[in-house]
Amino acid sequence: MNTLILNGSQSSGGSALDSWVGRYGASLERSGADVVEIVRLRDLGIKTCTGCWSCWWATPGLCALHDGMAGLYPKVVAADLVVWAVPLVLGAQNALTKKAQDRMIPLLHPYIELVSGESHHRRRYARYPDLALVVEPGLEDGERDVATVRRLFERFALNCRSRLSFFATTSMDPKEAADETRSA
């Protein structure tokens, strides 16, 4: 299984989430994952989507912004599983992971089709990876905040023509989370 972990920690000095993600990735490798790559989103210099639609009309599938996302798109499409490791800030995902989510739109067509009675973008590629979510709640975040972010990622997965196959918080032991990820 080719697993891509997108670490959304913004802390350049290392964080508890960085440590958890490292142990989780190592556990996935020990449990037999073919490839485990950890990408720190903070290192990509991700720019905010401008809504220019170039990725749909001018250069289909390619974003007009030049930053580290260009190298991330092929990794996402090639993965079997993309794990989003997301710190919560004031009850929601942080700005960095939201920017990265918004910038995934080139992976879809601008054309719409009905999926289970809802309007969604058509697929650009034959297959898309499953998604997983690991949340690092802040001190002020409660179960309701975690549940809201989980629901938002379930919708994000649906919009990405995928599914959210695994969910955990960083309170779970990384090895246990890796074992559950593999069985999901």
- Dump pLDDT digits (tens) for 138-181: 878 789 999 999 999 999 999 999 999 999 999 999 999 999 99
- Dump pLDDT digits (tens) for 34-54: 899 999 999 999 999 999 999
Length of the chain, please? 184
Rounded-to-integer distance, Cα 26 and Cα 32, Å:
10
- Dump pLDDT digits (tens) for 126-135: 999 999 999 9
* Residue range(s) defining the domain that contains residue 154: 2-183
Rounded-to-integer distance, Cα 117 and Cα 156, Å:
16
pTM greater than the 0.75 cutoff: yes
Rounded-to-integer distance, Cα 129 and Cα 180, Å:
17
Split into its structural domains, the chain has a count of 1
Point out which residues pair with 131 in neighbouring strands: 82, 164
Do residues 69 and 96 make contact, with C-beta atoms less than 8 angstroms apart?
no
Whole-number pLDDT of residue 34: 87
- Dump pLDDT digits (tens) for 64-118: 999 999 999 999 999 999 999 999 998 999 999 999 999 999 999 999 999 889 9
For position 116, which CATH number holds? 3.40.50.360
